[in-house]
Chain A
């Protein structure tokens, strides 16, 4: 017979989710080695290329300005999820924190949702910095399209979180950064978001979630055809679900 245990009121369950998310965000914001590069790099690179190096050329070509702005924005979307999840999950797994959390009555998915929220918060900050520097690069987006674009980017960070989660579930703490880079850097270059790919290599971009997020953003802004939207959303949703399921399966079996 079960010994009577106090029940957890729903308000306390909600609080547990909120507290988990609060401290996950706080700890990452307090890690300057993590927060600094991810928060400032996309805007910094955009200012360097879009304003300082090629500013005068881009000023005459609004399409090129928007292309570059979207490319660096999506690069900013990928980082917090892939590195944030990949490295912290691998470290927590290897150093016993994940095991402790499995022993404690942590509400189901609280850690996962907290990390996802942390990534989305970082992406929101990245988008705010990108919006702040957009006028320097002659980006032809007014406030409302910029808001839509930012919301797409925040929501679009989910598949990158899931990919990072899977790497974190598989790799050791030492090898996780290398594995994330192995995926992150080729994905940036081969998705065509920063540099247009040659016609013969365009098919490679279809394999990259970054390409599909870029297409969704372009569609939302009216710069691409609507008919491919559902396919792009399905690809990103599929990557999110499959990677998360594989990571959860791996962690529940091996810790």
Chain B
């Protein structure tokens, strides 16, 4: 059977000393999708990316890139990479940095085109060492695109970017996906994953907690949140069916419930003076927090 995955980790384990960074971890990147890799610090995201990039070898299991070992140069000619920490030569100008990376690929984009697409043309002749932190991230993003990659690895691509630059990156990522490029993104900005990802994989303690679409993630956390100002006592509300937790918050009583409609009806019936009523669905942030907490 043909393997349609662009990249995959198959039951990989990786240990560093006493720390099990990944434990029987599997992940697949499909053609034309943006997969967001989420997890708390130390969850194993960077190790997973390192194995996919061939920077490390798994102790057990296997890693494949375009069906090849990730260490093979042929496989790496299909990827673009933006790592979180890479201090490039400060003496080289921005267009030289892009020209250098483009030279590694069989059919790269012209440097001028990369500069134009990523909004870095005004920086082209400036030495890299003279750029601000955000500008450096923009240039690193431009370098990742230079080789017309079919799979792009982006590690925290928008950290340190202003809103306008972040929008430029997001637009570019949407265009790349539309053109059939696959993207693996790690981010701490959950709204970034929510806005861009086709699929989300949540890692905690080296294990895959769950993967699915953003909607599927939200659905996993069925609770909704009700806030209101009421004279009802916490203990009274907590005893009602469908109510899971009740606390006093900044904006009044904070109730989490599995069936919000029933609880809201009962609240309104029990307290005619109730006001400031709000009902919120769990966002990706709540889903992420809850899912990763369950592992601890």
Contact = CB atoms under 8 A, between A and B. Distances in A.
Partners in one complex: yes
Interface of A: 1-3, 5-9, 12, 15-16, 19-20, 23, 26-28, 30-31, 91, 95-97, 99-100, 102-108, 255
A8 B77 contact: yes
A28 B104 CA distance: 21
A5 B77 contact: yes
B190 interface: no
Interface residues of B, number: 38
Contacts of A20: 100, 103
Contact of B92 (A12, A23, A108, A255): A23
A104 B96 contact: no
A88 to B, nearest CB: 9
Contacts of B92: 23, 26-27, 30
Interface string B83-96: 10111110110001
Contacts, number: 97
B52 to A, nearest CB: 10
Interface string B9-49: 00000000000000000000000000000000000000000
Interface SS of chain A: helix, strand, loop or mixed?
Answer: loop
Contacts of B68: 2
A96 B87 contact: yes
29 contacts: A2-B68, A3-B6, A3-B67, A3-B78, A5-B75, A5-B77, A8-B77, A16-B103, A16-B104, A19-B100, A20-B103, A23-B99, A26-B91, A95-B87, A97-B88, A99-B55, A99-B83, A99-B86, A100-B81, A102-B54, A103-B53, A103-B55, A103-B79, A103-B81, A104-B81, A105-B77, A105-B105, A107-B73, A255-B55
A23 B94 CA distance: 12
B106 A103 contact: no
B104 A107 contact: yes
B54 A103 contact: yes
Given A9-B106, A15-B103, A31 B91 contact: yes
Contact of B104 (A23, A97, A106): A106
Secondary structure type dominating chain B contacts:
loop
A12 to B, nearest CB: 6
B3 interface: yes
A28 to B, nearest CB: 8
Contact of B107 (A6, A19, A108): A6
Contact of A95 (B2, B85, B96): B85
Nearest to A91: B87
A104 B78 contact: no
Interface of B: 2-3, 6, 53-55, 66-68, 73-79, 81, 83, 85-89, 91-92, 96, 99-101, 103-107, 127, 147, 150, 153
B55 A102 contact: yes
B96 A26 contact: yes
Contact of A104 (B66, B76, B99): B76
Nearest to B151: A3
Contacts of B88: 97
A168 B99 CA distance: 26
A114 to B, nearest CB: 10
A20 B103 CA distance: 8
A106 B81 CA distance: 12
A107 B104 CA distance: 7
A5 B101 contact: no
Q: Which of B3, B67, B104, B147 has the most CB of A within 10 A?
A: B104
A97 B76 CA distance: 16
A20 B105 CA distance: 13
Most buried by A among B78, B100, B107: B100
A104 B101 contact: yes
